Amino acid sequence: MATTKAELLQGTLDLLILKTLAAGAMHGYSIAQRIQQRSDDVLVVEEGSLYPCLYRMEEKGWISAEWGKSENNRRAKFYALTRSGRKQLEEETAIWERVHRAITLVLQAA
Amino acid sequence: MRALRTIWSRLRSLWQRREVKREIDEELRFHLEQRTAENVAAGMSPEDAAREARKRFGNVQSVREECGEARGASFGEGTWKDVRFAIRQLLKSPGFTAVAVISLALGIGANTAIFSGLNAVLLRSLPVRDAQDLRLINWTGRNPQYSGYTGPGTTDVPGGFTVGTSFSYPGYCVLRDGNTGFSDVYAFATKGVTLVGHGESRFTEALLVSGNYFSGYGVRPFIGRPILPEDDQPGAPLVAVITYPWWERQCGSDPNVVGKPVTINQHTATVIGVLPRNYAGPLPGDEATVYLPLNAQPQLWSHQPLELDRWWLQVMGRLAPGANEAQAQAGLSVLFQQALNQSKTKMEQGGIVLEDGSRGQLILHRQMAKPFLALTAAAGIVLLIACANLAGLLLARGAARRHEMAVRAAMGAGRWRLIRQSLVESLTLSLLGAGLGLLVAAWSRPALLGFLLEYSRDDTRFDLQTDDRVLAFTVLVSVITAVIFGILPAIRAAEAHPAEALKHRSAMAAPRLTLGKGLVAMQVSLSVLLVVGAGLMIRTFANLARVAPGFDAENVLVFRVRPSDAGHPREQYVEVYDRIRSAVAALPGVRLVSYSAFALVSGSSSSDEMELPGRPNESGRKRNIEYLKVGEDFFRTMNVPLLAGRDFTSADSATAHSVVVVNQTFARRYFPDEDPVGKTFTFHDQSPHSVEIVGVVRDTKCYRVRADAEPLIYVPQRQSATRAVSFAVRSVLPPGTLLPAIRQAVAGIDPHLPLFSISTQQVLLDRSIAPDRLFALLGGALALLALLLSCVGLYGLMAYNVARRTPEIGLRMALGATPRNVSGPILREALWLVLAGLAVGVPGALALVRLVQSQLYGVAPADPVTFVCGGALLIVVAMLSAWIPARRAARVDPMVALRCD
């Protein structure tokens, strides 16, 4: 891993997980993999921190969890977006875009 | 919805902590293994692959914990930790814990005991199918005038209406046959019967029931079949359903009992069924052992035809599914009017009222509701005092632990966390108290059972077992208690400011407990209510116990016989009584024997109309007079002095002209300035006839001890014999020793004549005031409890104050204050607290005692003696409990006190 790693901004992990799960149910390991791949290996999730985040989101009702079989036929816990998770994703995406725009504006002005 | 789900998942995780942890572990392990496998696939050695996977994952242990916390596993764990911490804290101060738990146990125990009584008598539904559909059918009307009425009596309700529960048979038939939204309208009545089994006659009770009783009431026999409408027809073969206890005891649990004969009042009936074990009849505490059809009555009791216009049947109904209750009531009212038109009984504005029948006839309910309410209120007050105690103790403790709380707040414990800890502590205390309280309740059960039994008739069964409802009540009470006494101190404790932790411990002077003072004053005022209430009850009982009954109860045996059931016709009654009398009189040790329609103070009475010549009644209504039909020598046997005239003799026979002996009150009220002997008046017993007064006797208690002297006339049995009489045998020996000889003597006259209601006159006298005794006892116990708890509260507050002010006291002593200077203000403060409590409590008590006025005897509700003694008692007891800390203060060693910093 020679590429520059970016530390995740606080709270963005939620957004990344929600977005990842929008593609369909998957287990924790593939969520971590997917985030890393999608970001061209820039965003390396500290894999452990993913799980408390998943549990908190489950408590909040954004995602639901169910035990199932993994690709290699092992018992794994699959997470899926709930309706309120989908709404949350929309809201957080909107916020993120606003913040992103604002930061870009500030940077361009400078 | 989400909040609910969160709570649910938290609660679940409380129980499934291990399960949740296992799932987390499995999920994390899966992740690590996946990563390791991928690394291996990328060409790493297995060891390197595993190491790299762990490195990328981070701290597995802390992730696990974080997940658990997110999942709420920590909630359960935290609570459990709180409980353990609370128990450790409580064990650290055993004195505090003991006082707290015992206070609560007494408070909760008293409430549970009273509630289990309330539950058994007033709340529990009958064990029948759909008890909620049952209705009691009562009549209501103005100025009822009936020719014969038996049953639980009538009640006068506001508006000049009378409500009664008994109906005549023809009246019942009208209600039954009209279709009024009831699936069944059924009737029943208890009657004494003589059953023969195992060669021995036994007097017991039968419930006479209509043919639709079993379908209406909702009970199936455990063996055999119920009584059916075809069994309840004139001339139908005589059948009987027996109860489970009778089947077990008298038939040896014979499975083939159906079809066997049983002898009832000399007639043979066929057993057709056995009632289930948990069966309970609609009359509370009914002792019927055998159920017979109503139409068996003319056959078994030849003296009373069924069609007579006598009101003796209790009527209940089962509402049909979907029936409108108001319409059903209106329909029955119309039918009742019709029945009245066909009846000799007259009343104005007659109608029917329905009452909830799910608990059976409410006779006992009506009798006991008031005393039970008073007891429940008293027990509630005791619990309130216990709560105040606990709150006071916890406040003092919280004040002592302020430093600890401040330290914990400084270390990051949230406000809610601190409140939770305090609440868990008080909940733990109250649950401990509730556990012990259940024991207290179980231990007081016999006393309570005694209380209930004295209120009803003898050998009534009551089920005071702790059922789910009682348990639920106890748990509810203890949780509410915990919140009441825990919330204030908890909030106080959580006010701890982190900055205070930095101060030196001693710089945080323990605060004054203004709230604590308020609590103690409240306890005192609540205690006043109970002490005064109990004082009045005790004085009532003392008055009743001192009442001269007007006769001599010592060494008098009483028993009843009923020759009518043994087949003797009415003309033979007196002859049977005479023969028994002379046979018993001949026994060694017997001094005098006589008999009367019922024993004195046995709770029975009879009355009928009379007309006094030249003295029309003011209200225009008929004048009722109590009467007692007695045999010869009754006054001598009971030691009632004859004041004028003569006693009855054998010459006062049915053919001679009618005579009566009157009591003093009769003479005084109706013949104030003349000699009543020789005067005549009209008496309506059976038919109006003229009677002559031949004697005057001193007043005696007749109905019960509580009753005031009322005019009473004595009528000779020889002129108007009753179906059953109570014999009174005055002996030189203890009455019980004579019983075998008396039984033998009676059996020698007629072997089918059983003795029943065997007792002594003294027992009857005691039983007549037993409810008052128990009420005084229970009230006294509750008041004592209240006093004790209030003392503990006061003592706790004073002891706290002394401990708080020890350095100050030491300083003052060092500067020359005498012990008296030191203890004086403490005692004075206690006195002020008590006086403040009295200032609120006494007017409160004055207002409330009026509610128990009807329970009092010979004492005014605002009895000055009770109030002054109660107040003085409270002051003395309070001063005693304040004296201990005051003495401790006076003994403070200045050197020690000043050094203690």
Secondary structure E strands in chain A: 26-27, 63-69, 75-81
| DSSP one-letter string for B593-623 | EEEESS-TTSS--EEEEEE-TT---TTSSPE
Nearest by CB to B70, from A27, A56, A77: name it.
A56
Could you give all domains of chain A from N- to C-terminal order, each with its CATH number? 12-109 (1.10.10.10)
Number of domains in chain B: 5
Whether A77 and chain B come into contact, CB under 8 Å, resolves to yes
Give the closest-approach CA distance of A109 to chain B in angstroms. 39
Separation of alpha carbons B36 and B734, rounded Å: 99
Residues B391 and B330 in one domain: no
Residues B179 and B270 in one domain: yes
Residues B412 and B333 in one domain: no
Q: Does residue B554 lie in a domain region?
A: no
User: Of all helices (H) and strands (E), which one includes residue B207?
Assistant: strand B200-209
All residues at 6 or more sequence positions from B330 whose CB lies less than 8 Å from its CB, including other chains: none
All residues at 6 or more sequence positions from B35 whose CB lies less than 8 Å from its CB, including other chains: A29, A47, B49, B52, B53, B56, B57
Whether A17 and chain B come into contact, CB under 8 Å, resolves to no
Residues B223 and B337 in one domain: yes
Separation of alpha carbons B404 and B505, rounded Å: 10
Cβ contact, residue pair A59, B28, below 8 Å: no
Separation of alpha carbons B142 and B146, rounded Å: 12
Q: Does residue B556 lie in a domain region?
A: no
All residues at 6 or more sequence positions from B217 whose CB lies less than 8 Å from its CB, including other chains: B128, B134, B186, B282, B316, B318
Residues B445 and B541 in one domain: no
Whether the CB-CB separation of B819 and B809 falls below 8 Å is answered with: no
Residues B140 and B65 in one domain: no
Whether A76 and chain B come into contact, CB under 8 Å, resolves to yes
Separation of alpha carbons B839 and B834, rounded Å: 8
Whether the CB-CB separation of B576 and B749 falls below 8 Å is answered with: yes
Residues B661 and B535 in one domain: no
Q: Which domain holds residue B855?
A: 513-547+765-901
Cβ contact, residue pair A49, B9, below 8 Å: no
Regions of chain B where pLDDT drops below 70: 1-17, 71-79, 121, 123-124, 146-148, 151-153, 197-201, 284-286, 302-305, 361-368, 400, 411-414, 447, 449-467, 493-494, 496-513, 616-622, 897-901
Q: Which of B693, B721, B752 is the last residue of a domain?
A: B752
Q: Does residue B173 lie in a domain region?
A: yes
Please tell me whether the interface predicted TM-score (ipTM) of this complex is above 0.85: yes
Q: What is the average pLDDT value for chain A, to the nearest integer?
A: 82
Residues of B in contact with A59 (CB under 8 A): 6, 9, 70-72
Residues of A in contact with B6 (CB under 8 A): 59
Instruction: Give pLDDT tens digits for B255-291.
Output: 888 998 888 887 889 999 999 887 888 876 667 889 9
Nearest by CB to A59, from B23, B58, B72: name it.
B72
Residues of B in contact with A77 (CB under 8 A): 23, 26-27, 30
Whether the CB-CB separation of B324 and B310 falls below 8 Å is answered with: no
Residue A95 is encoded by which pair of tokens?
A: 């916020």
Cβ contact, residue pair A52, B31, below 8 Å: no
Nearest residue in chain A measured CA to CA from B35: A29
pLDDT at A2: 37
Residues B738 and B603 in one domain: yes
Separation of alpha carbons A106 and B516, rounded Å: 62
| B788 C-beta neighbours (distance < 10 Å), count | 20
Please report where in the chains the tokens 């000049």 appear, as a residue: B160
Residues B746 and B618 in one domain: yes
Residues B46 and B58 in one domain: yes
Give the closest-approach CA distance of B30 to chain A in angstroms. 7
User: Of all helices (H) and strands (E), which one includes residue B747?
Assistant: helix B739-749
Residues B780 and B862 in one domain: yes
Q: Which of B308, B325, B358 is the last residue of a domain?
A: B358
| B299 C-beta neighbours (distance < 10 Å), count | 18
Nearest residue in chain B measured CA to CA from A72: B34
**Beta strands across the sheet bearing A75-81:** A26-27, A75-81, A63-69
| B86 C-beta neighbours (distance < 10 Å), count | 19
Cβ contact, residue pair A52, B30, below 8 Å: no
| B674 C-beta neighbours (distance < 10 Å), count | 10
Residues B287 and B349 in one domain: yes
Separation of alpha carbons B633 and B612, rounded Å: 27
Q: Does residue B364 lie in a domain region?
A: no
Whether A32 and chain B come into contact, CB under 8 Å, resolves to yes
Tell me how far CA of residue B151 lies from CA of B57, B143, B644, B764, B784, in angstroms: 85, 18, 37, 21, 40
- Mutation site, B1, B24, B31, interface A, largest A CB count within 10 A: B31
pLDDT at B211: 92
Give the closest-approach CA distance of A43 to chain B in angstroms. 13
Q: Does residue B740 lie in a domain region?
A: yes
Whether B54 and chain A come into contact, CB under 8 Å, resolves to no
Whether A89 and chain B come into contact, CB under 8 Å, resolves to no
Give the closest-approach CA distance of A41 to chain B in angstroms. 14
Of the candidates B749, B724, B709, which has an alpha carbon nearest to the alpha carbon of residue B547? B709
Nearest residue in chain A measured CA to CA from B10: A59
User: Of all helices (H) and strands (E), which one includes residue A95?
Assistant: helix A83-109
Q: Does residue B437 lie in a domain region?
A: yes
pLDDT at B782: 86
Q: Does residue B267 lie in a domain region?
A: yes
Whether A25 and chain B come into contact, CB under 8 Å, resolves to no
